[in-house]
Structure formats: C-alpha cells, structure tokens
Amino acid sequence: MSDVFVSYARPDEPQAKRVAEALRALGHRVWRDDELPAHRPYSEVIEERLGSAKAVVVLWSAEAAKSQWVRAEADTARNAGTLAQAVLDGTVPPLPFNQIQCADLSGWDGAADTPGWSKLAASVTALAGEAQPTAARRTRNRAISICVLPFANMSGDPEQEYFSDGISEDVTTDLSKVSALEVIARNTAFTFKGKSVDVCDVARHLGVTHVLEGSVRKAGGRVRITAQLIDGASGGHIWADRFDRDLNDIFAIQDEISKAIVDALKINLLPSEEKALADRGTANSDAYNLYLMARQAWITGDFGARRREEKVIRICQRVVELDPDYAQAWALMGLAQANLCHGFESDECVEDGSAAADRALALDPKIAEAHLPKAWRLAEQGRHDEANAELAIAMELNPDSWEVNKEAARLFYRQRRPEDAARHLEKATQLMESDYHGLGMLFAYHHSRGDIEAARRTAQRAVDEIEKVLSANPDNGAALAFGAMSLASLGNVDRARDWIERSLLVDPDNLQMRYNLAWGLNKVFGDGEAAIEMLRPVMAHAGANIIRLAANDPNLDNLRDDPRFATMIQAAKERVGLESN
C-alpha cells in the first residue's frame, strides 16, 4: 500500500501530478486517483487508500476549497494526524485548516530547492518516514523480474499462518533457481504481508516486471491454493489457477505453480534447473508440514522457555521418523538441542545438537544451519576462534540465512563484540520481520550506545511484531519482557509495567526472560536496585550461556562496581565452572 495519498481538485491535476512525481523521485510510494482500478467502487478505494496512508498531502486552491471531496479527505487526515498541506494559488485554506502550517507552492515549477517544496517534502518525510530507494534506482540484472507476495492464509485459523508462509517461501526459492528470472528477496516481499496492496503499485515500487499473489486454505487433509501471475505495468492477469487437492499433493502443486509461471513468462529451463526445482528436501508431505510448524515455533516461540526448545525437538524428532533423510529437520533439531543444552542449567544437557548437526551435514554438506550447533559447542568450551570459524563456514554457505545471522549475533554479543552482533542482527531482523527477539537485542544494542533515536525506532518495530505474537500467544513471556522495555523507551511506562507484571505471572521460570527484564530495568527504567533483585534467581540457577552474557553485557556495566553484583557473577561462574576474568 502507498505511504502517501495526494488529495486535490480535478482542475489542479497538472500540479498534483508534478507533486506526486517529485515525491516518487524522493523514493516515496505515492497514490492519487488517476490509479483507480476499473473493477472497484470509487469511494471504497478512496477510503481504503486514505486510511492506510502515513501522509496525506492536500493541495489547496480556490477550486479545492470548494470541493467536498478534498475537504472530507483533509478532515480525515487531520483527525488521523497524517495531514501535510500546501497551497497552489495563494488561496487561504478553509477553516479549520487555516490554523495548520501550510507550504506555499504558488507558481512552483518542480524545482527541488524552493522553500515551499522543501517544507512540504520535510513534512511528508516526518509523517511517512525516510523514503525508500525508488524502482528506477534498483538495477535490474535480468529482463524478467518477479515479486512473490506472501500468500494469504484463508484457513480461518491464525495458527495455520506457518503453512501459508512456508508455501510463499518455497515458491520464492523455486523461482530463484531459474537463472533467467530475477526474484525479489523473501524479506522484501514480506513487508507487504497482511496489507491490501495494488500490484501495479508494488511492481513500480520494487522495479519488477511481474507480481505473483495467492492464497492458501488448509483444512484436515485438504489444501486449496490459488495463484495469479500479474503484469506489473498493466495489472493484467498473465496466468491464474486454483488447486484443490489432498495435502499429500502439496509438492506437485508447488511444482505446477513454478512451471506454469516459467511457461507463462516463456522461459526455457536448463536441465540443471529442472532438477533443482524438483529438490525439496523431502517427498513426505506430513514431514514437510510438521517441519514448517517446528520452524514457526522456533521463530516466534517463547524465547528462553524450555517448552519452546522441547516443542521444536519433539516435532523434529517426529519429522525425521517420517523422513530420516530430511536434512533441514536434523539441522533445526540440532540447533534447538544446542540451545536447550547451553541455555539452561548445565546438568540438564543431554544432547548438545552435535549428532543431529553431523547427520544433517552427511545428508547435505551445503546446509549452513548445521554448523551452528558446532559453533555453540566450541564457544561453550571457550574455543572462540574455532567457533567463529564454524560461523564463517555457515556464512559462506548461506549469507542470507536468518538462523545463521541470528546465532552469529548471539555468539558475538557474548564475546563482547557488540558492533559485529548488531550488524548480524540488522540483517536477521530484515530477513525475518517477525523476529521480535532479534529486534529486542538490537534495541538493547542501540540503548547501550546511547543512541536513543535508533533505540526508539527499533522499539517501535519490536512492539509492532510483539503485538502480533501476543495476539496468537498471550502467555509468551519473552515477548512481553522485550515489549515492556520497548514500550518504556517509547514513553508508555504504565503499559510497560503492566507487561512486566504479566510476564512474571505467566512465565516465572523463564530465566532468559528475567535476565532481559533485569537489563531493561537497569538501563531503560534506570532502576539498578530492581535489576539486581531480578538477577538473583537468574545467577543462582542459569547455565553458562546466560552467565557469560551477564559478564559481558554493556547494559550491565554500570553495576559492575556494586559488590552485590560482583559477588553474584563470581558465585555463578564458580557454580558452572567458568573461569573468572
């Protein structure tokens, strides 16, 4: 959906077009009513676009002041706090708009250095955010390019979101294997998730020739998938189909979608590409469904709670029973085992993930995520150079893996390399926008550096994602804790305290959550006493992972001269056998 809505009277269309083009040249996504689709009611589209816009630019003139449409749109924007206005011919805006600042574009010829334009452009940026690079600035590497929009979950069950997301990701991956086709990255496409978008707007913004959109309905043993390939310039359908099959046919459906798109675009596949399209890691649809479920639990589950790791391990064990050769499932199970082993009390470690990682690599030597349990094992043994070597291998194999970037950030943070950690966190949270934990860590980094503005921007991103997580799982203590710190940073202290109380009520045994509350109380709330009290049960029971984090966390540096804190850290190190600094 466009970020900027332009409101104007019909006689002012030439000036409105000039304003819209100038805003697009700055990188904003702009909509005006010359783009009304032929198949939808005028008022319905206007209301939808107006309500979703972050900035509404109202262009006043003698004609606009008489227009009921312009006045209604301006009033809607004023009430929503999205109004930015300019006058085209010296006309004073009508009441109450004459009480609001207004840029003067009288006689404006499109020059970027005039005071009136500079004022309007600054207001739009303040409301809509920094402009994104325009499509013209993105260099196309191939003649045909495509964006796969997230397929809509039509199952009527939010818990089935993992399945529709998985289908979208797999179709994106399939098309990426075609050398003649440029495919927009998954993380970029997923910025449009849950939004009502105009595909021509998406195509123009991303600079692609085509857009694929669709929906997934899964119920019992049946699945219905619809897909439409759309010309980005005209909005016309090039290909569309509906697949209503048994769930066992899911791979055949994906194959048919990919091949239908290739045929519609008149692309000739190389023999190696045909073979690559058929390679899905597993041919067992039940194993595939369960793997998607496990990965969703890993991404949005209650970080720091044993039940997350135990759930992922339990599901993955069932997956590899169904298909012993499913390398991705072995790698994910190994990562969850490593986290369970190193993240909690030391005597709870039964399996550190090494065996599962070895099995994954034996099946697929190119699977980057299988190197992560090995990196954690080496790091826990104090062999950081070797651990970092494993990370380097994983990064070389798949630099765009969310898991690789996320775990690299966590390991670097414990090595007191916050800048390296932040670099990987930035990428991880772009690759997986629902990674509230990564956003929480990134917020902590910015806060530790005193970059309050960056911390607040990250906090708002975190709150947006956390609210989605809590709508599906209100008892997610980790999300509540990170959300509380973010809310406090944004000035909503009362709600933040409510979330802290709620997190401790629903998830009292989550030591990682308590740790995150402690640094937040210390740095965000400025309450060192409360932080020390929150840390006492953590340092008394946590495993080496959290203790090593506490010993190196910049957000606790102001407590290090407090004898109580120093004693806690020393006792915790002795309990788990860590060397003192």
DSSP string, 247-294: GGGHHHHHHHHHHHHHHHTT-PPPHHHHHHHT--S-S-HHHHHHHHHH
26 closest CA partner among 128, 104, 99: 128
Residue 179: CB atoms within 10 A of its CB come to 12
Write out the H or E segment, with its range, that includes residue 309. Answer: helix 306-322
Number of C-alpha atoms within 13 angstroms, CB side, residue 544?
Answer: 21
CATH 3.40.50.10610 at 138-280, yes or no: yes
Q: 3-state DSSP call for residue 314?
A: helix
Q: What's the distance, Cα to Cα, between the start and end of the chain in Å?
A: 53
DSSP per residue over 489-521, as a string? HTT-HHHHHHHHHHHHHH-TT-HHHHHHHHHHH
**Three-state DSSP state, 223:** strand
The pLDDT value given to residue 159? 73
Closest CA to 173 of 450, 400, 458: 400
Whether omega before 158 lies within 30 degrees of 0, making that bond cis, reads no
Q: Residue 91 is encoded by which pair of tokens?
A: 């006309």
pTM of the model: 0.67
Count other C-beta atoms under 10 Å from residue 91's C-beta.
15
At residue 137, the pLDDT reads 43
Counting as low any pLDDT under 50, the low residues of the chain are 1, 38, 133-139
CA–CA separation, 75 and 78 (whole Å) = 5
- CATH 3.40.50.10140 matches 4-128: yes
Q: Which one, of 215, 29, 233, 30, lies nearest residue 145 by Cα? A: 233
What is the distance between the alpha carbons of residues 224 and 151, in angstroms, rounded to a whole number? 12
Output phi, psi for 355, to 5 deg.
-65, -40
Report pLDDT digits (tens) over 119-172.
898 888 888 876 554 444 444 556 888 999 999 988 877 778 888 888 888 888
Q: Which three-class secondary structure state does DSSP give residue 133?
A: coil
pLDDT, one tens digit per residue, over 540-551 is: 988 888 888 888
Residues 6+ apart with CB under 8 A from 125: 26, 131
| Cβ pair 147, 202 in contact under 8 A | yes
Q: What does the pLDDT read at residue 130? A: 62
Q: What torsion do the CA atoms of 318, 358, 337, 395 make, to the nearest 10 degrees?
A: -110
As beta bridge partners, residue 218 has: 223
- DSSP lists the bridge partners of residue 85 as 58
Q: What are the residue boundaries of the structural domains of the chain, listed by start?
A: 4-128, 138-280
Strands 222-231, 210-219: pairing kind: antiparallel
User: What's the mean pLDDT when you consider all of the chain?
Assistant: 86
Name the pairing type of β-strands 144-148 and 152-153.
unpaired
Dihedral sign from CA coordinates of 475, 481, 482, 488: positive
Q: Give the contacts of 390 (CB within 8 A, at least 6 positions apart).
A: 371, 372, 374, 375, 378
Burial of 279 (0-12, 13-18, 19+ CB in 10 A): exposed
Q: Which residues contact 256 (CB under 8 A, 6 or more apart)?
A: 241, 243
